[in-house]
Copies of this chain bind each other. A is one copy, B any other.
Amino acid sequence: MSFRRLDPFTMLSPVPAVMVSCCDKAEGAKPNIITIAWVGTVNSDPPMVSISVQKRRYSYDMIVNSGEFVVNLVGKKECRAMDYCGVKSGRETDKWADCHYTPVPAEGLDYAPAIAECPGFLACKVRQTIELGSHVMFIGEVVSCGVQEELFDEDGSMHLERAELITKAHGVYQKATDVLGFFGYSVARPDVLKRRMSVYRKKK
């Protein structure tokens, strides 16, 4: 194996493909949905995520004015809508209506709604705004989360991996599937490995 050397580009893969929902704080403002792949977890305590948005995007002013955004996770069922919300602008069409999506309140936020149909959401308040060049990075503190009831087992354990969440690699969408291990599995005792992995293998 050998590397082909390339000029620098945004090659990090696979990155999450998420739908960010937001709303201006002006009275009667309508919320929008924007698809974002430049998103990541940036801090554990307090939990924080960053999203990077171009200033020309319709959602940019909404996030600046409200100081809020919601990161909605995208599963296999939402893949087409996620792509659509990345291609179309809220200036021209109502993406909520186009995708048959329903805005629902996100605890801890006053303006930005969550998308009721997605596997889960992270409600965020903007703590820092950093201009980087083509994009502006909003660092948001996660103030509440929601996960679909169907992704919990009876013992209360959460199984996001069952949502077949969507990732993006170099312009292509794939789903995350086939559990290969868990944090620490490379050094786990054989009995622990067997017990833990059986949980992921018994259900899709």
Contacts and interface: CB of A to CB of B under 8 A. Distances in A.
Interface of A: 1-16, 18, 37-50, 52, 71, 73, 76, 79-81, 83-84, 86-88, 104, 107-108, 114, 116-117, 120-123, 128, 130, 132-135, 137, 139, 141-150, 152, 158-161, 165-187, 200
A200 B172 contact: yes
Q: State the number of copies, please.
A: 2
B87 A4 contact: no
Given A142-B9, A146-B6, A81 B132 contact: no
Q: Which of A160, A166, A184 has the most CB of B within 10 A?
A: A160
23 contacts: A4-B148, A4-B149, A8-B123, A8-B142, A11-B145, A12-B71, A13-B73, A13-B120, A13-B176, A42-B137, A43-B132, A43-B137, A45-B133, A81-B186, A83-B181, A130-B130, A158-B170, A160-B172, A161-B174, A165-B169, A168-B183, A173-B181, A175-B177
A42 B14 CA distance: 14
A40 B15 contact: yes
Q: Which 10 pairs, one residue from A and one from B, show the smallest C-beta to C-beta distance?
A: A40-B40, A3-B146, A43-B132, A8-B142, A45-B134, A83-B186, A174-B176, A84-B186, A14-B176, A6-B145
A58 to B, nearest CB: 17
